[in-house]
Every structure is written in C-alpha cells, then in structure tokens.
Amino acid sequence: MSDRFAAQRRALIERIRERGIGELEILRAFDLVPRHEFLPQAVHHRAYEDTPLPIGFGQTASQPSLQALYIQLLKLSPSDKVLEIGTGSGFQTSVLASLVSNVYSVERLRPLSLSARESLDRLRASNVALLVGDGTIGWARYAPYDAILVAAGSPSIPEPLVEQLAVGGRMLIPVGTREGQKLQMIVKTASGYNVRDVKECTFVPLVGRFGWAESTLTER
C-alpha cells in the first residue's frame, strides 16, 4: 500500500468510526484495503474522502462509511458465504473478502467486472468469484448465502435473491424510487421473510429482470 495515502486513509477510518462503526474487524479491513487501487487514476487524490466517486459507465463507488454500515448491520462471521450484487469498483468486494470465507459478486457491466478482477488479483484476493450478469436473479449455483448485499436501488425486493438466502440469512437492499430509497434489512425465515427499514439512502438503479428495465434509464 502506498504510504502517500497513509494520513488520508487514517482520517477516513476516523470518520467511519465517528459515524458509529465500532467493530474493530471492520475498521481494520477498511484500513488494510487500499481504496485507490480500485478507482480510476483521475480520482485517486479523492480516494479516501468519505463520499461516492465516479468509476465510469454512469456508476459510482459507494461512500465508505455507508459500506461499513452495511457490513456492520449484517453481523458477518468469518465462516459466512456472501453474495454481493453490484461489484462496481471491487473495493467493497475486497473488504468483504477479508472478513468472510467466500464472496460471490455479480456485475452487469463487463468492463467494471474485468477492472475489479484485475484489482482483486493484484491484492491476491483468492476467495472471490465474479460473474457478469443480471444481479437481480442472483447466482443460484452457490446458494444458499448467509448474507446478500445489494449495492443499487430496486423498485421492490427481488424474489430470486430472497430465495437464495439461507434460513436466518440477512439481505440489505435499497428499495424505492429512482430518486431515493430506504435501505431495508430482510431476514429469511422458515416460512418467508421479515423486513425492517434501516435508513434513507440514494443509490444508482438496480437494472435487471427483477429491478429497473434498462430502457427506463434514459427516461425522464
């Protein structure tokens, strides 16, 4: 990790802590994974700001403190198998890989998936599998999952993702309109699932069969 970002990285960790993230394992993961390695060169100087950053193709790398909140809310265990919907830059993927047994991540945009794979390989993240495809239908081959993180806003809860949760498994997903969503926690039960609102948020659209149609992306 480049020492030139050491001060900025530590400042980011302190901001994450101030926002209520107190689990040492999570803070350590955000300290150890170099965010700039997953971002375009043009925004390297902003890599350790606590803000979303553009990564091309109309997509953004999420705000680090929100990613940390996601992970803390899911109460992950080292033995967990996690599905991530929206690989994006691959930064959150790498953080997850340092905390759990296996990470499976789906990204609909091939260039982003390929770029994330290159970054993950540089950091020798050997417990990550990537798939280019429709994230709203999940990745049934490796189900059931102990946790699912959805990094894009959906008009409703995609049923295939719920089906791929293990009983007792947790999913975090932003649900609402294109302009704003509520982050919801879904917990799978033996007879269905429970839903709890967590906070207001705004994410890029979750595009796919059980999300927003791609044709709506240019409609305003």
CATH number, domain of 44, equals 3.40.50.150
Instruction: Work out the angle at residue 97's Cα, subtended by the Cα atoms of residues 149 and 131, and round it to the nearest 5 degrees.
Output: 60
Supply the residues annotated as catalytic: 62
Strands 59-61 vs 53-56: parallel, antiparallel or unpaired: antiparallel
Query: How far apart, in whole angstroms, are the C-alpha atoms of residue 26 and residue 6?
Result: 18
Residue 118 forms part of a structural domain: yes
Residue 216 forms part of a structural domain: no
Residue 218 forms part of a structural domain: no
Residue 152 forms part of a structural domain: yes
Domain count along the chain: 1
Tell me, what's the pLDDT at 215?
Answer: 73
Structural domain harbouring 40: 3-211
Using alpha carbons, list the distances in angstroms from residue 130 to 10, 63, 84, 140, 148.
29, 22, 9, 13, 14
Enter the DSSP assignment of 207.
B
Regions in the chain scoring below 70 on pLDDT: 1-2, 217-220
Residue 77 forms part of a structural domain: yes
Tell me, what's the pLDDT at 98?
Answer: 97
Paired tokens of 21: 């993230």
Say if residue 144 is preceded by a cis peptide, omega within 30 of 0: yes
Residue 159 forms part of a structural domain: yes
Question: Residues in the chain, how many?
Answer: 220
Residue 217 forms part of a structural domain: no
Residue 173 forms part of a structural domain: yes
Enter the DSSP assignment of 140.
G
Task: Give per-residue pLDDT as tens, 164-199.
Answer: 999 999 999 999 999 999 999 999 999 999 999 999
